[in-house]
A = this chain, B = another copy of it.
Amino acid sequence: MLTIVVYDVSVDKVNKVCKILRQYMNWVQNSVFEGDLTKNDVKEIEDKVKGLIDIERDSIIFYFIENENFIKKMYLGKKKANLSKIL
């Protein structure tokens, strides 16, 4: 399942969240990852991240897209990552 993850967490957690997401997804730019996740991947990320973030302050959003034909992407400025696949 195509997935975009964006996170807004306190500074001391940024690297930790980034490290977890990097195991499953591609870094796109600061606080943004893209990937093709299974339901099990999502569950694993949830479990790892929930033990880390402060649910009263930190926020992580997952956008799930059914099919890559349903989404188009446009860059303004620098493309910070060279993704080998999807989106």
Contacts and interface: CB of A to CB of B under 8 A. Distances in A.
Stoichiometry, as copies per complex, reads: 2
Contact of A75 (B31, B60, B70): B60
B65 A77 contact: no
Of the candidates A46, A54, A58, A61, the one having the most CB atoms from chain B within 10 angstroms of its own CB is A61
Contact of A76 (B28, B53, B56, B73): B53
Contact of A59 (B29, B67, B87): B29
Nearest to A49: B76
Given A71-B63, A74-B61, A30 B8 contact: yes
Given A46-B76, A64-B72, A65-B70, 6 more contacts: A6-B29, A8-B30, A49-B76, A59-B79, A60-B76, A64-B74
